[in-house]
Chain A
Amino acid sequence: MKHIISLLMENEAGALSRVAGLFSARGYNIESLTVAPTEDETLSRMTIVTSGSDDVIEQIIKQLNKLVDVVKVLDLNDGRFIERELMLVKVKATGPLREEMKRISDIFRGRIIDVADGSYTIELTGSGSKLDAFLEALDRTVILETVRTGASGIGRGDRILKV
Chain B
Amino acid sequence: MASEIRMDDSSYQKTEQLTGAEIIMRCLHEENVEFVFGYPGGAVLHIYDALFKQNKFKHILVRHEQAAVHAADAYSRATGRVGVALVTSGPGATNAVTGIATAYMDSIPLVVISGQVPTAAIGMDAFQEVDMVGVTRPCVKHNFLVKDARDLATTMKKAFYIAASGRPGPVVVDVPKDITADIAEFAYPKTIEMRSYTPVLKGHSGQIKKAVKLLLEAKRPMIYTGGGLVLGDAAPELVKLAKTLGFPVTNTLMGLGGYPATDPQYVGMLGMHGTYEANNAMQNCDVLLAVGARFDDRVVGNPDHFLSVPRTIIHIDVDPSSISKRVKVDVPIVGHVQSVVAEMNELLAAETKRPDANALKQWWAQIDQWRSKKTADYRLDKDIIKPQQVIEKLWQVTKGDAFVTSDVGQHQMWAAQYYKFDKPRRWINSGGLGTMGVGLPYAMGCQLAFPDAQVACVTGEGSIQMNIQELSTCKQFNLPIKIILLNNRYLGMVRQWQEFFYNNRYSESYMESLPDFVKMAESYGHVGMNIERPEDVEGSLHEAFAMKDRLVFMNFVTDQKENVFPMVPNGKGLSEMILGDEPGADAAQSEGEG
Contact = CB atoms under 8 A, between A and B. Distances in A.
A13 B325 contact: no
Given A10-B4, A21-B137, A71 B196 contact: yes
B142 A68 contact: yes
Contacts of A69: 142, 196
Given A10-B196, A63-B321, A69-B196, A55 B138 contact: no
A29 to B, nearest CB: 18
A37 B223 CA distance: 47
Interface string B138-182: 100110010000000000000000100000000000000000000
Given A68-B141, A68-B196, A55 B324 contact: yes
Given A17-B137, A21-B137, A21-B138, A65 B197 contact: no
A1 interface: no
Contacts, number: 41
A65 B162 CA distance: 14
Per DSSP, chain B at the interface is: mixed
Contacts of A12: 1
A59 B321 CA distance: 6
Contacts of B141: 68
Contact of A18 (B137, B145, B162, B324): B137
B317 to A, nearest CB: 11
Interface in A1-60: 9-10, 12-14, 17-18, 21, 25, 42, 55, 58-59
A12 B196 CA distance: 12
A62 interface: yes
Interface in A146-163: 163
B324 A65 contact: no
Contacts of A21: 137-138
Nearest to B140: A68
A59 B325 contact: yes
Given A9-B196, A17-B137, A21-B137, A65 B3 contact: no
Contact of B162 (A25, A68, A70): A68
Most buried by B among A42, A55, A62: A62
B328 interface: yes
Contacts of A68: 141-142, 162, 194, 196-197
A71 B196 CA distance: 4
A58 B324 contact: yes
Contacts of B137: 14, 17-18, 21
Nearest to A70: B196
A72 B329 CA distance: 25
B376 interface: no
Nearest to B319: A66
B133 interface: yes
A16 B557 CA distance: 53
B321 A66 contact: yes
A59 B3 CA distance: 30
B264 interface: no
B134 interface: yes
B195 interface: yes
B144 to A, nearest CB: 9
A68 B165 CA distance: 12
B310 interface: no
B592 interface: no
Contacts of A14: 133, 137, 145
A65 to B, nearest CB: 7
Nearest to A9: B196
Nearest to A24: B138
Contacts of B194: 68
A58 B196 CA distance: 19
Interface in B172-217: 194-197
A10 to B, nearest CB: 5
B404 to A, nearest CB: 32
Contacts of B320: 62, 65-66
B57 to A, nearest CB: 26
Given A9-B196, A21-B137, A55 B328 contact: yes
Contacts of B319: 66
B487 to A, nearest CB: 38
Interface string B56-72: 00000000000000000
B104 to A, nearest CB: 12
A24 to B, nearest CB: 9
Interface string A113-151: 000000000000000000000000000000000000000
Interface in B275-326: 319-321, 324-325
A95 B226 CA distance: 73
Contact of B3 (A13, A42, A55): A42
A71 B324 contact: no
Contacts of A62: 320-321
A70 B197 CA distance: 8
Contacts of A66: 319-321
A71 B195 CA distance: 6
B145 to A, nearest CB: 7
B142 A25 contact: no
Nearest to B194: A68
Interface in B416-445: none
Contacts of B321: 59, 62-63, 65-66
Contacts of A58: 324
The 3 residue pairs across chains A and B that have the minimum distance between CB atoms: A62-B321, A68-B142, A71-B196
Interface of A: 9-10, 12-14, 17-18, 21, 25, 42, 55, 58-59, 62-63, 65-66, 68-71, 163
9 contacts: A9-B196, A10-B196, A17-B134, A21-B138, A55-B328, A59-B321, A62-B320, A62-B321, A71-B196
Interface of B: 1, 3-4, 133-134, 137-138, 141-142, 145, 162, 194-197, 319-321, 324-325, 328
Given A14-B137, A17-B137, A69-B196, 14 more contacts: A13-B145, A14-B145, A18-B137, A25-B138, A55-B324, A59-B325, A62-B320, A62-B321, A63-B321, A65-B320, A65-B321, A68-B141, A68-B142, A163-B195
